[in-house]
Amino acid sequence: MLPPDSLGHALQQAARLVAAVLDGANLTDRFESMLLADPGLPESTRGAVRDLAWSTLRQYGRGDTILRPLLHTSPPAFVRGLLLVALHRLEQRPEQAHTIVDQTVQAAAAEMPGMKGMVNAVLRNALRQKSAWLEWVAADEAARHGHPRWWLEKVRRAHPDAWEAALAAGNAHPPMALRINRRRATMDEVLGRLQQAGLSARRLDNDAVLLERPVAVARLPGHAEGLLSVQDAGAQWAARLLDARDGERVLDACAAPGGKSAHMLERADIDLLSVELDAGRAERIRRNLERLGLSARILVADCRELSAWWDGQPFDRILADVPCSASGVARRHPDIKWLRREEDIGHFAAQQAGILDALWQTLAPGGTMLYVTCSVFDEENRLQIERFLSRHGDAELFPIDNRPDFQLLPNAEHDGFYFALLRKLP
């Protein structure tokens, strides 16, 4: 048994997560299950495990390219995951090479004693050939950019002038942004409390507050009292663009976990209905609104099945934050890059079209619908809207800052999002 606060234990746990993902599991689900199974795990170890697993998977394409020439046979899934985690750590902390190899070998001995020698040999061979790593990576475009080749090609076609920067951002650690609950606090008040807590932050153009460094939510002054929420700065454009006004009847379809619902309620006194397909995720909406001192009607339903939830009264505004590939937030969920398949994008596009067509029936003439994805793929964004407009003669695209739509690519301040504002003709 490895000491719970040791690097070896963190390597072991991270390897289990990486192996599970490469076998098709959801990274977040497995991490949460791990925490439930070991509630006494020190907070520092939890953070180390998370950082090791997430970082390794962000750079999996690179790590796999380095590992392949070092293997003569295919190892068990855990060992493969352990070697990938160790190689990533060796790249990040070369000055700790001796400790990393030693702790990795101990992790192998604790999990699969018979593989201890093999792990030791591979890592020592890797260090001997470290000068060749860059050459191996440079020869493989997918490895250089840390994304599957089909993903890389889609981003390159959709964003020919910015694709490399977008992919590089998708491999970086994500930023942490806050949203101020204007019903309970002012911008100056929150910035002052953050400064007193030793947290450096700055205000962005859309009034999001960007922290210089991510921190545990428990360290955020005012979070428990509902003064602020954690929400990506890009996501905070949604409520501003939809711009719901006092007294309006508003629908938030696909509403979990409730950040955009809350933001709309913080901005205006609206009659809000939040619809969510999954009952567990709908409960998260309720808890989030309760912490913030807000309220809305929350229904568990498939928003495409109008007969199951719609009372026939049209909405003035609709937020259609549809399920998508999540290609714009893959750095937060790096398993997405390696679990998604190219054919999945067509399935998402078909689902999105069905949601748009259903929700359009519930929008009042003269009303507006904001279509939102956290995707950077054209099939889910620009092309989706073009197809929608061709099907609906009573729809027009309302410009956003003199542009037909609004595509955010991931960068150091925000994740990737797409917004299109649709108006129903009177």
Is residue 247 classed as helix, strand or coil in its secondary structure? coil
Question: Measured between alpha carbons, how far is 85 from 60 in angstroms, rounded to an integer?
Answer: 9
Question: Measured between alpha carbons, how far is 293 from 225 in angstroms, rounded to an integer?
Answer: 9
Annotation says 324 is catalytic: no
Please provide the distance, in angstroms rounded to a whole number, between the alpha carbons at the two ends of the chain: 70
- Contact at 8 Å (CB) between 410 and 380? no
Provide the b/e sequence for 415-425 (b: ≥16 CB within 10 Å): bbbbbbbbbbe
Q: How far is CA 376 from CA 145, 226, 328, in A?
A: 16, 32, 5
Question: Measured between alpha carbons, how far is 126 from 78 in angstroms, rounded to an integer?
Answer: 18
Q: List the one residue out of 368, 364, 373 whose CA is nearest residue 396.
A: 368
DSSP H or E run through 406? strand 406-408
The label of the residue with tokens 């101990």 reads 106
Q: From the DSSP assignment, how many helices (H) and strands (E) are in the chain?
A: 18, 12
Q: Kind of pairing, strands 315-321 and 249-253? A: parallel
Which token pair is 288?
């989030």
Question: Measured between alpha carbons, how far is 244 from 308 in angstroms, rounded to an integer?
Answer: 25
**Which residues make beta-bridge pairs with 274?**
252, 298
Is residue 423 classed as helix, strand or coil in its secondary structure? strand
Angle, helices 7-22 vs 77-92, to 10°: value is 120
**Which residues make beta-bridge pairs with 321?**
372
Q: Which of the residues 254, 303, 324, 374 is marked catalytic?
A: 374
Q: CA 401, 405, 408: angle at the middle one, nearest 5? A: 90
Is residue 418 classed as helix, strand or coil in its secondary structure? strand
- Contact at 8 Å (CB) between 420 and 388? no
What amino acid positions are annotated as catalytic residues?
Answer: 374
